[in-house]
């Protein structure tokens, strides 16, 4: 796996063009993890634990009466985008969105670099 550091949005898009990554899906993360894993499998400092099914069920019981039928049908996605760690991984076809997630968040530190991962999209 090749690591390339970019210093500007122009460099980022030049990299995407040079390596023919336009048709890939991508994922941005604030820092490098050992593996690309979902939030539910990462230990959280303030909780000192991993999130699991009981947390998702507890959240559902708390918000269920307020949810639309679509939010209920896609509850894990709703929970994830409400801030609850889930087993889902977000990927996008918008590389600018990936860059945003790599550079923007609550725990951004100036001494750490964000990461964008590109995966060949095989027509999913």
What kind and span of H or E run contains 26? strand 24-29
Question: Is the overall model pTM greater than 0.85, yes or no?
Answer: no
Residue 96: predicted pLDDT: 95
Supply the pLDDT for residue 71: 95
Provide the residue range defining the domain that includes 32: 25-120
Could you report the per-residue pLDDT of 61-88, keeping only the tens digit for each? 999 999 999 999 999 999 988 888 888 9
> What's the pLDDT at 47?
53
- Mean per-residue pLDDT, 36-53: 70
pLDDT at 38 over 60: yes
Among 14, 36, 26, 21, residue whose Cα is nearest residue 94: 26
Residue 67 within a domain: yes
Question: For residue 9, is it within any domain?
Answer: no
In a domain, 2, yes or no: no
- Number of alpha carbons in the 13 Å side-chain half-sphere of residue 35: 6
Q: How many domains does the chain have?
A: 1
**13 in a structural domain:** no
pLDDT beyond 70 at 105: no
For residue 80 the two structure tokens come to: 């994830």
């Amino acid at each position: 796996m090749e690591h390339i550091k970019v210093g500007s949005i122009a460099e980022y898009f030049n990299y995407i063009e040079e390596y023919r990554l336009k048709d890939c899906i991508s994922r941005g993360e604030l820092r490098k993890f050992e593996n690309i894993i979902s939030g539910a499998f990462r230990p959280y400092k303030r909780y000192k634990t991993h999130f699991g099914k009981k947390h998702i069920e507890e959240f559902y019981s708390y918000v269920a009466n307020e949810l639309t039928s679509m939010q209920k049908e896609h509850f894990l996605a709703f929970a994830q985008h409400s801030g609850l760690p889930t087993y889902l991984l977000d990927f996008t076809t918008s590389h600018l969105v990936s860059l945003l997630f790599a550079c923007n968040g609550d725990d951004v530190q100036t001494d750490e670099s964000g990461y964008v991962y590109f995966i060949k999209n095989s027509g999913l």
